[in-house]
Structure 1
């Protein structure tokens, strides 16, 4: 599992959903997107909401002539409108999301950005709900522009979950802090900072034995999969914690 859906959008907003199989919520109603239109809709949404027509046609239909790619683009736009989905507007030069249309990624990334920038409110201190239908950005799509964006979102979520775990520890919400760190570990099992966030949450709760177990699981995995040892900083922090010296979450290795 990877990224999460945070909160439902207001019904008055048109929303392009890209986490899982693409669909659109328009006027509070869920609208399935025709197969031949999904890639165009996703491409425009992921490119910041506005793209040059020629760039879109060339990126989505690279095999064949420019005229054929332009024809495919016009066809996709026509089919999208024919399905009653009115979230794209176009002219002779560009295609863009209609004003007021957003994406599920916008809400997700705004939440992560507030955590990472230190501007999170109390309402942001929660572990997002994970569901199988929104497990990752456009699953099964292997276009280069999708792969790049998928990795960007994955990295942002990993960092946000680690910060969330630290903030929850400081608020003495240890169970939620452990959940946040475990979500980060599930996204990337070989990420040391995620395992360290989990160990820190256990120590903050007063469970040094659990922290050691978390460390040993990571150590064994790193040895088996990568042939490396955990960092000296992580090991030093664990030794200090085992002797009862509390280390503030997010300050591993500080003495």
Structure 2
């Protein structure tokens, strides 16, 4: 699971703790979990996802657009005060800028880095064992409907799917076929119509010598694609089985 990978990375990369946005937000430091006050969540998430430094006035206006600048600035000060009061003092704030404190890890950033290493063909041994039970467990800020969150959520989802598909290729190259099948099926469960995920599964079956399994996987996808979109799989996908449409 990704939690294992995050825990391992935290040892070296998060001396100041870890901010969890999957299923969050909440903050962990030295084995202790800190809940984020309701009135401070959007500020903390905004600073974490946008990185920094961010202009203080602009942040206040974007998060509290109703009312004048003075009121927005007051809301920002209140949000910062609440964070510090409960021990989530991880935003550096001066009179001009805001940024996340150095040494604080963000689970989303760690998972994005995992995917980038796999897609880039430079995974660590730990990366190859970091397989989630399902992408539902990596739901970024569930229940949040801001446009900037929705865009980030979809961006993270795409990175994860590409990471899983790259993981399948790496596992096949190492003859770890059962793990490759598992990883590809997780990607398929997240997006059954995604042809690249289906291709990963078929390639894993073929690499293991299970031609019938590969053929059955193709047929299931072909039926699903037709029932849903009235479309056929690509010739490239069918070509993996050494066949062509007649």
TM-score by length of 2: 0.90
**Residue in 1 that maps onto 2:162:** 159
Q: Indicate conservation of the 8 Å contact 1:174/1:204, yes or no.
A: yes
State the 4+ residue runs in structure 1 displaced beyond 6 angstroms: none
Deviation at 1:235, TM superposition (A): 1.3
The within-5 A match list for 1:1-255 is 4-5=2-3, 6-8=5-7, 9-10=10-11, 12-130=15-133, 134-239=137-242
Contact 1:61 1:69 survives alignment (8 Å) = yes
* Mapped partners of 1:116, 1:97: distance in 2: 27
Q: Secondary structure at the match of 1:41?
A: helix
The question of whether the paired residues in 1 share the 8 Å contact of 2:135 and 2:190 is answered with no
Deviations 1:52-105 (A, max 9, x none): 112211221222222222211111111111112111110111111112112112
Q: Could you say if the C-alpha distance between residues 7 and 99 of structure 1 is closer, same or farther in structure 2, counting changes exceeding 3 Å?
A: closer
SS of equivalent residue, structure 2 residue 126: helix
Q: How far has the Cα of 1:138 moved from its partner?
A: 0.6
SS in 2 for 1:122: coil
Contact 2:18–2:104 under 8 Å retained in 1:
yes
Aligned 8 A contact 1:19 1:135 in 2: yes
Contact 1:4-1:131 within 8 A present in 2 as well: no
Quote the offset at 1:132 in angstroms. 8.2
Deviations 1:205-226 (A, max 9, x none): 1111111111112111211222
For residues 222 and 66 of structure 2, the distance between their equivalents in structure 1, rounded to whole angstroms, comes to: 47
Distance 1:197 1:58, change over 3 A: same
Shift of 1:48: 1.5
* TM-fit CA distance, 1:133: 8.0
Match of 1:251 in 2: none
Higher share in helix: 2
TM-score calculated relative to the size of structure 1: 0.87
Give the Cα separation in 2 of the matches to 1:77 and 1:151: 28
Q: Report the Cα distance in structure 2 between the residues aligned to 1:123 and 1:234, rounded to whole angstroms.
A: 30
Structure 1 unaligned segments of length 5 or more: list them: 242-255
> Could you say what secondary structure the match of 1:30 adopts?
strand
How many positions carry a matched residue from both structures?
A: 239
Deviates more, 1:45-54 or 1:32-41: 45-54
Distance in 2 separating the partners of 1:130 and 1:58: 39
- RMSD across aligned C-alpha pairs, in angstroms? 2.0
Q: 1:166 and 1:214, CA in 2 relative to 1: closer, same or farther beyond 3 A?
A: same
Given that 2:54 and 2:97 are in contact with CA atoms closer than 8 Å, whether structure 1 keeps it comes out as yes
